[in-house]
């Protein structure tokens, strides 16, 4: 799923890399808790979840099984 510049800033560089990564790697000294990061993170995740639900409802045809969460986890599904 392509991200706009503001999504990239708030979701990826903001919440994911400036909050989650430092917190989960026990580097609280690097964490940057800024207003708006979490809201952008939630918004982008909602869009991604909707996209994945749509794809799973459509299924994967061509003689193969429908998509499952395991297929996505194992890297058998690549975002376009």
Q: Residues 4-30: pLDDT tens digits? A: 999 999 999 999 999 999 999 999 999
Would residue 57 count as lying in a domain?
A: yes
What is the span of the domain harbouring residue 35? 5-62
Q: Give a yes or no: residue 41 inside a domain.
A: yes
What pLDDT is stored for residue 1 in this prediction?
78
Q: What are phi and psi of 50, to 5 degrees?
A: -60, -40
Q: How many domains does the chain divide into?
A: 1
- Domain assignment present for residue 35? The answer is yes
Q: Is residue 80 part of a domain?
A: no
**What tens digit of pLDDT does each residue of 37-79 get?**
999 999 999 998 888 876 666 665 544 545 455 555 555 545 5
pLDDT of the residue at 28: 95
- Per the domain annotation, does 74 fall within a domain? no
In this structure, is residue 75 part of a structural domain? no
The pTM assigned to this predicted structure is 0.60
Residue 46 in any domain: the answer is yes
């Amino acid at each position: 799923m392509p991200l706009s510049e503001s999504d990239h800033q708030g979701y990826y560089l903001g919440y994911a890399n400036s909050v989650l990564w430092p917190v989960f790697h026990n580097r609280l000294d690097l964490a940057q808790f800024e207003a708006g990061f979490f809201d952008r993170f939630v918004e982008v995740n909602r869009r991604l979840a909707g996209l994945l639900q749509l794809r799973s409802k459509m299924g994967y045809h061509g003689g193969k099984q429908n998509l499952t969460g395991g297929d996505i986890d194992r890297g058998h599904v690549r975002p376009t």
